[in-house]
Structure 1
Amino acid sequence: MGRACSKYNDQDEFLYDPKLLENLDWAFVLQFLNPPITNEQPGEEWLLVRPLKLSDFDRGYLQILSQLTNVGNVSKANFESQFQKMRNTGGHYITVIEDTKINKIIGSASLITEFKFIHECALRGRLEDVVVNNTYRGKQLGKLIVLTVTLLSKKLGCYKMSLDCKDALIPYYKSLGYKSEPGNSNSMMNRFEKEDPS
């Protein structure tokens, strides 16, 4: 079990199983990180990469999202209800970075999976709502959270991971291995090749 998983306790109600974040294929993306970091070794021992928890309302999860977009007035009851809907529906893999020294969420990214009939009834992943607290920038945490959910989508068997971004962010996502979709440079994707069974 990884270092990060040892920090979980039985009282935690996660959006998805934290064991899914174990043994991600970091060899696939380590060239994008200098120095190399992973979700289990994020560079600072007090940082923890994990699934969103029901109790993260009290750790400032909505405040970190508000650095990205307008969140609106969301009560704790609203948050908990939406969390349970996402958990029960499945396909929602909101992954966060917690600063355990101050018990606050300082980064987040969402992987949403979609069942398809194409590609032999494959699974497609979408990357959404990527944000890192502006006081933590410069530590590769944006790269870390994007690559963590990218590798999670690969582990889940997605044939590709896609995202939509503004013009200014195209070079950033290209630096993480994403390519623009033909005819729409703002729609980007990362395809995962099937391994040859022979």
Structure 2
Amino acid sequence: MTVDTYLFDNEALISPQVQASLPQGYSIRPLGAQDYDRGHLQVLGVLTDVGHHTHQDWLNQFYYMKKRNDTYFSLVIVDHASDRVVAVGTLLVERKFVHCNGKVGHIEDIAVSGDQQGKKLGLRMIEALQYIGAQNGCYKVILDCALKNVPFYEKCGFTQKEMQMAWYVPQGVSATEEEPLDRAHL
């Protein structure tokens, strides 16, 4: 059996209440270096387009995040019967100047495999990420979601606040090119 390397090693960051609330045969843990083969990207594919990753591309991203293990907290829920990742989620911890150098947790990329939905795995993932935010001293944990998902996140203790905005970088624009923004319409 191969020993896995995890994104972070602090077991105290995994909520014992969440672990105990999972269905029998399931566990929650940090993302592991072997999770590419356990279907990590396939679960994320339920949420959005993940693009094409080679195994090495995925490992490069994993080890980049691992070097910053005070910022990236990606979790997976594993079904032990199949040894497959069935749910994923990430908390990014942003360090700020406001709130006396406070920290904000950003929940990202919550996804549950289609054949695993209805088992409250998404709820458990959110609870686990909230716990990590609290353990890291975040003064708030926030997320963006589709309007259709608002009722779910309200059940998780979130409230609607303000409005999300997005600006997508135009295709073909690199960091070295400077393309003036068309602000004539403002």
TM over 0.5: yes
Query: Shorter-chain-normalised TM-score: which range?
Result: 0.7 to 0.9
SS at structure 2 position matched to 1:101: coil
Are 1:61 and 2:40 counterparts? yes
Q: Is the 8 A contact 1:21 1:50 kept in 2?
A: no
Listed one character per residue, the Cα deviations across residues 49-90 of structure 1 (whole Å, up to 9, x for unaligned) are 000001100101011111111011100000111100011123
Q: 2:133 is matched with which residue: 139, 146, 153?
A: 153
The gaps in structure 1 that reach 5 residues or longer are 1-8, 27-37, 188-198
Aligned to 1:42: 21
Aligned to 2:11: 19
Are 1:86 and 2:65 counterparts? yes
1:45: Cα distance to partner? 2.5
Listed one character per residue, the Cα deviations across residues 102-153 of structure 1 (whole Å, up to 9, x for unaligned) are 0100001110011111111111100010011111111111100011101111
Structure 1 pair 127/154, CA: closer, same or farther in 2 (3 Å)? same
Are 1:52 and 2:44 counterparts? no
Larger-gyration structure (1/2): 2
The CA distance in 2 between the partners of 1:10 and 1:68, in whole Å, is 29
Aligned to 2:171: none
SS at structure 2 position matched to 1:179: coil
The CA distance in 2 between the partners of 1:39 and 1:167, in whole Å, is 26
**Residue identity opposite 2:82 in structure 1:** I
Aligned to 2:184: none
User: Within 5 Å, which residues of 2 pair with 1:1-198?
Assistant: 11-22=3-14, 24=15, 38-90=17-69, 91-181=71-161, 183-184=162-163
* Identity rate, percent: 29
**Residue identity opposite 2:65 in structure 1:** M
Answer 1 or 2: which has greater helix percent.
1
SS at structure 2 position matched to 1:45: coil
**Residue identity opposite 2:93 in structure 1:** T
RMSD of the alignment, in Å? 1.8
Instruction: Out of 39-48 and 70-79, give the one that drifted further.
Output: 39-48
Listed one character per residue, the Cα deviations across residues 143-164 of structure 1 (whole Å, up to 9, x for unaligned) are 0001110111111110000111
Answer 1 or 2: which has greater strand percent.
1
1:18: Cα distance to partner? 4.3
Q: Is the 8 A contact 1:18 1:50 kept in 2?
A: no
For normalisation by structure 2, the TM-score amounts to 0.82
Structure 1 pair 104/18, CA: closer, same or farther in 2 (3 Å)? farther
- How many residue pairs match? The answer is 164
For normalisation by structure 1, the TM-score amounts to 0.78
User: Runs of 4 or more off by more than 6 Å in structure 1?
Assistant: none
